[in-house]
Amino acid sequence: MIDKQEIEDNVHWYKDAIIYELHIKAFYDSNGDGVGDFQGLLEKLDYLEDLGVTAIWLLPFYPSPLRDDGYDIADYYSINPTYGDIKIFRQFIKEAHRRNLRVITELVINHTSDQHPWFQRARRAKPGSNYRNYYVWSDDPNKYKDVRIIFTDTEPSNWSWDPVAKSYYWHRFFSHQPDLNFDNPSVQKEIFKIMDFWLKMGVDGFRLDAVPYLFERENTNCENLPETHQFLKNLRAHVDQKFDNKLLLAEANMWPEDSAAYFGDGDECHMNYHFPIMPRMFMAVKMEDRYPITDIIDQTPSIPESCQWAIFLRNHDELTLEMVTDEERDYMYKMYTKDLQAKINVGIRHRLAPLLDNSRSKIELMNFLLFSLPGTPVIYYGDEIGMGDNFYLGDRDGVRTPMQWSANKNAGFSEANPQKLYLPVIIDPGYRYESINVESQQGNPSSLLWWMKRIINTRKQFKAFGRGDIHFLAPANAKVLAFTRVYEKQVILVLANLSRFSQAVEIELTEFEGFAPVEIFSQNKFPKITGKPYLFTMGPHGYYWFLLEKEEGYQGSRDALPQIKVDRWEELFAAQTVARFEQKILQPYIRACRWFGSKAKVIKSVKIKENISLGDKERPASWLILDFQYNEGLAELYQLPLAWVKTTDEESVKLINRKSMIAKLSIGGEEGWLIDGVFDEHFRNKLFNHLVKRQKIKTNGDQLVFHTASRSALKGEGEVNSKILSAEQSNTSVIYNGTYFMKLYRKVDNTINPDLEITRFLTEKAQFSSVPNFIGDISLQHKDQTRTILAMVQEPVPNPGDAWEYTKDELQHYFERVLTLPKV
Ligand code: NOJ
């Protein structure tokens, strides 16, 4: 059976995706011709799966003169023979899908190569004819004069003269890339045909290259025209009608308002890049101020429910500065181009690591922002290992060099003569492939690659990143960017220190009062949020993801707890009502407790097996042993001491540990709370006093025995001071007078308790000094001579942690080590 959530996840897969952008020629060369190919990509799919990405975006792989790296398409229906053929492409789709990797390809429809047969036919066709009108012609190069030039470094005009057609043709990019004429219905038909061809083959989505420029109209800037939007709506309707779960991703490098228009009312593109946020992330880190980020997100309109932004740090193009103000552009050039040659068009041709001075902390911080801000992150191949670039190569080739797999010849990318490679590998001293490569990073758990794997896989566990809304917090310290991402009940608090120095920041989190922040990477619990501003301290370029969780067992506010009214404490256990008390009050409480180990089982019944009264009229208390029966498997016994704390005073109620509260209980008209007795100091201290006196208490034929190794083993004069330890696993621990450690077992049994037996043997018989000495125990002695051990008392040992944490850490180190070993 497929459930609703699964369907929803499948339809909106792009919202939870992590996209990896790569060029087939740059990834891996399987046949030693110096150029990457589909066979090579097939061989590296394991790597991508291991990295944790969920979708691959392939740059253009069609036959092409490659004067714009394949964005100059000469045939839409086949594969550039250097990369492979349709057969291997099908195999690639199949293999990718088998690994749950979706495939996004390029649909370059604004223009073709001038070598495309359509253009060759058009330039020779009769002016005004249908074939001629596949492209946009004019006798006057001043037509559409309000239109900006995109490739400012190479193109003086958007018109070029064609000597064959004896006319000017329109091109928004290179002059060898004539624009298709979308006013011609035949062109539109061709586009639908191309889409159907690839979607039928199993492609999951298209990146719609240069999509704002499809139509031209006089006296406009020929961008974002209504006609373009209408065409995209038709395209979407066509896809939706014929296919399921496909994606249209617009490349619209526009201001947020214009960009958002490409979502339509949820009836145009599913996704669109958020271009303006990209340079602002770089600005924020350089300025050490959150404003550029908060400002651009504040300017971003909300988008239809089914839509999603794509966000990125770097891609195959220059770091474009088209969507910034003139001042901002000057700032970016000044801060991020050390060498003038790095400038190209309206941008900077650098990869991520060189932009960030190869600073590991900055690379982590920027990626952290990428994975935290709203949208689907897109990673550019090679940036996960911190590859360098080479802007001396011309155009944008410097960021398109071969993937660095190992320290071997050609960075392990190809067996070819190094001079035959489509582009040389990076040998810049700071980034040379001998040191920056996949193999060496795989073998080092502290490498950037491993850090990327961890953050990717961590992010995937939280839907709030892909689907949640964003709410900025405004702490006085502007160097700290703080926001929440909330999706359904999941709340994530994101903190990033944009500065290179340590920062302290106080954050107003009162709306989450009572929540416990859990730091997501370490799973460490931070102190509970109270009504006061919460203080965080952050290291240079530090970052945190906190899951804001209600404390375990917390089911909403205190007011949501069950309310019970009785005349006397004993009524709780009266024959007529006890079943209800067991099922409705005790069972749900225990189920939510950290120490209850059978959460995955279906509970058939819970019955009070023993009820030992330990209180008095003023402070009633009962020590319960509960019998849990399950649908499958053996029954289990758990102990739960119950106590009543009489109070209505809000201040004293606040002092009661929230985890311990079971119900609001009024007895004989007096208000109070039914709580787990261990959390009641009075009850706890009573246990200690009974131990000092080695008390025996008769109860229904059984006996509660407080035993110590010798009369003087446990001394207790004056006031007892007790404290519950916060590290809680399957037991609850109490320290008395700073001198005695009591472990209260939660799951109990009426047979031998090995923990107690071994400790006692080692202390009393073996006199082994490397265990904390046994001091005493509390047990229930049954009529049939069996015993149920309820608690053990030992000497406390000052320690830097506990065995549980130690084991977890050791296992983690072990797995990291094993995972980094070379595969056999
Ligand atoms: C956008 C692509 O990202 C870029 O690489 C290309 O040069 C232009 N479109 C023109 O096709």
Task: Centre a 10 Å sphere on the Cβ of residue 426 and count the other Cβ atoms it contains.
Answer: 22
For atom 11 of ligand 1, the residue with the nearest CA is: 71
For atom 6 of ligand 1, the residue with the nearest CA is: 71
pLDDT score, position 400: 98
CA of 396, closest atom in ligand 1:
5
Q: What are phi and psi of 768, to 5 degrees?
A: -80, 120
Helix (H) or strand (E) holding 748, with range, is: strand 747-748
The amino acid present at 45, given as its one-letter code, is L
How many angstroms is it from 20 CA to the middle of ligand 1?
A: 17
Which residue spans within 145-291 are E strands per DSSP? Answer: 159-162, 167-170, 205-209, 247-250, 271-273
Ligand 1, pocket-test mutation among 62, 67, 71, 275, most atoms within 8 A of CB = 71
pLDDT score, position 264: 98
How many angstroms is it from 271 CA to the middle of ligand 1?
A: 18
Cα separation, 336 vs 724, in Å, equals 54
Long-range contacts of 449-457 (CB under 8 A, 24+ apart): 449/51, 449/384, 449/385, 450/816, 450/820, 451/364, 452/51, 452/367, 452/379, 452/384, 453/50, 453/51, 453/52, 454/521, 455/367, 455/368, 455/371, 456/18, 456/51, 456/52, 456/53, 456/371, 457/52
Active site (annotated) includes residue 251: yes
CA of 68, closest atom in ligand 1:
7
For atom 5 of ligand 1, the residue with the nearest CA is: 317
Active site (annotated) includes residue 8: no
Cα separation, 531 vs 513, in Å, equals 6
Angle in degrees, 0-180, between the axes of helices 326-336 and 277-287, rounded to the nearest 10: 60
Residue 754 pLDDT > 90: yes
Residue 654 contacts residue 767 (beta carbons within 8 Å): no
The amino acid present at 735, given as its one-letter code, is I
Give the pLDDT confidence of 173-230 residue by residue, as tens digits.
999 999 999 999 999 999 999 999 999 999 999 999 999 999 999 999 999 999 999 9
How many angstroms is it from 71 CA to the middle of ligand 1?
A: 6
Ligand 1, pocket-test mutation among 58, 209, 211, 319, most atoms within 8 A of CB = 209
Residue 135 pLDDT > 90: yes
Residue 492 contacts residue 509 (beta carbons within 8 Å): no
pLDDT score, position 557: 63
Instruction: Please state, in angstroms and as integers, the Cα–Cα distance from residue 348 to each residue in 296, 337, 687, following that order.
Output: 21, 7, 72
Give the pLDDT confidence of 675-721 residue by residue, as tens digits.
999 999 999 999 999 999 999 998 888 999 999 998 888 887 778 89
Cα separation, 487 vs 305, in Å, equals 13
CA of 108, closest atom in ligand 1:
11
User: Which of 174-188, 407-421, 622-636 has the least mean pLDDT?
Assistant: 622-636
Question: What value does the mean pLDDT of the chain take?
Answer: 94
Ligand 1, pocket-test mutation among 67, 68, 344, 399, most atoms within 8 A of CB = 68
CA of 315, closest atom in ligand 1:
3
Cα separation, 92 vs 87, in Å, equals 9
Q: 187 is written with which tokens?
A: 């062109």
How many angstroms is it from 350 CA to the middle of ligand 1?
A: 16
The amino acid present at 370, given as its one-letter code, is L
Ligand 1, pocket-test mutation among 278, 317, 345, 378, most atoms within 8 A of CB = 317
Residue 748 contacts residue 789 (beta carbons within 8 Å): yes
How many angstroms is it from 172 CA to the middle of ligand 1?
A: 10
Give the pLDDT confidence of 59-90 residue by residue, as tens digits.
999 999 999 999 999 999 999 999 999 999 99
Long-range contacts of 810-819 (CB under 8 A, 24+ apart): 816/445, 816/450, 817/445, 819/445
CA of 111, closest atom in ligand 1:
11
CA of 316, closest atom in ligand 1:
5
Residue 377 contacts residue 366 (beta carbons within 8 Å): no
For atom 7 of ligand 1, the residue with the nearest CA is: 68
Beta pairing partners, 515: 550
Q: What are phi and psi of 306, to 5 degrees?
A: -85, 0
pLDDT score, position 555: 42
How many angstroms is it from 335 CA to the middle of ligand 1?
A: 25
Ligand 1, pocket-test mutation among 173, 272, 399, most atoms within 8 A of CB = 173
Residue 602 contacts residue 630 (beta carbons within 8 Å): yes
Cα separation, 694 vs 690, in Å, equals 6
DSSP three-state, residue 600: coil
Cα separation, 514 vs 117, in Å, equals 68
The amino acid present at 569, given as its one-letter code, is W
Burial-class residue 782 by CB neighbours within 10 Å (0-12, 13-18, 19+): middle
How many angstroms is it from 800 CA to the middle of ligand 1?
A: 57
Q: 717 is written with which tokens?
A: 């004069």
Residue 313 contacts residue 354 (beta carbons within 8 Å): no
Give the pLDDT confidence of 324-351 residue by residue, as tens digits.
999 999 999 999 998 999 999 999 999 9
Q: Which of 29, 155, 209, 397 is catalytic?
A: 209
How many angstroms is it from 137 CA to the middle of ligand 1?
A: 22
**C-alpha closest to that of 551 among 562, 538, 561:** 561
**Which residues does 629 contact at the CB level (< 8 Å), separation at least 6?**
603, 604, 605, 606, 607, 635
Question: Would you give the end-to-end CA distance of the chain in angstroms?
Answer: 38
Q: Which of 179, 251, 268, 582 is catalytic?
A: 251
How many angstroms is it from 347 CA to the middle of ligand 1?
A: 13
Angle in degrees, 0-180, between the axes of helices 86-98 and 185-201, rounded to the nearest 10: 60
**Which residues does 531 contact at the CB level (< 8 Å), separation at least 6?**
510, 513
Task: Centre a 10 Å sphere on the Cβ of residue 264 and count the other Cβ atoms it contains.
Answer: 16
pLDDT score, position 2: 46
CA 373 to chain centre: 10
Angle in degrees, 0-180, between the axes of helices 291-298 and 277-287, rounded to the nearest 10: 150
Share of the chain above pLDDT 70, in %: 98
Give the pLDDT confidence of 539-595 residue by residue, as tens digits.
999 999 999 987 644 345 677 788 999 999 999 999 888 988 998 899 999 998 989
How many angstroms is it from 29 CA to the middle of ligand 1?
A: 24
Q: What is the pTM of this model?
A: 0.77
pLDDT score, position 440: 97
**Which residues does 316 contact at the CB level (< 8 Å), separation at least 6?**
21, 23, 59, 69, 380, 396, 399, 400
Residue 1 pLDDT > 50: no
Cα separation, 787 vs 753, in Å, equals 9
3-state secondary structure string, 52-118? Answer: CCCEEEECCCCCCCCCCCCCCCCCCCCCCCCCCCHHHHHHHHHHHHHCCCEEEEEEECCECCCCCHH
Q: 245 is written with which tokens?
A: 């779960």
Stretch 646-660: mean pLDDT:
83
Ligand 1 pocket (Cβ < 6 Å) reads 68, 71, 108, 173, 209-210, 316-317
Instruction: Please state, in angstroms and as integers, the Cα–Cα distance from residue 446 to each residue in 442, 451, 454, 540, 816, following that order.
Output: 9, 7, 11, 18, 9
How many angstroms is it from 60 CA to the middle of ligand 1?
A: 10
Stretch 141-157: mean pLDDT:
95
Q: 526 is written with which tokens?
A: 């931070």
Q: 813 is written with which tokens?
A: 């180190």
